[in-house]
Amino acid sequence: MKQTALFISSVFQPLLMPIYSVSLLFIYTHFKYTYAHLFLSFVIPTILFTFLVPGVLIYIMQRLNIISDLSLLKRKDRFAPYAVTMLSYSFLIYYFHNLGLPNWFLMMIGASIIVMILAIIITLWWKISAHMFGISSLIGGVMSVCYFVDKTNPYILFMLLFVVAGMVGVSRLILRRHTPNQVYAGFLLGFVVSFVSVWIAT
- Exposed, middle or buried: residue 192 (CB in 10 Å: 0-12, 13-18, 19+)? middle
Q: What are the pLDDT digits (tens) for 31-76?
A: 888 888 889 999 999 999 999 999 999 999 999 989 888 777 788 8
Type of residue numbered 60:
I
Write the CA distances from 16 to 33, 46, 48, 50, 66, integer angstroms.
Answer: 24, 9, 11, 7, 23
Query: What's the pTM?
Result: 0.92
Say which DSSP state 65 is in: T
Closest to 104 measured CA to CA, from 136, 152, 146? 146
pLDDT band at 187 (very low <50, low <70, confident <90, very high): very high
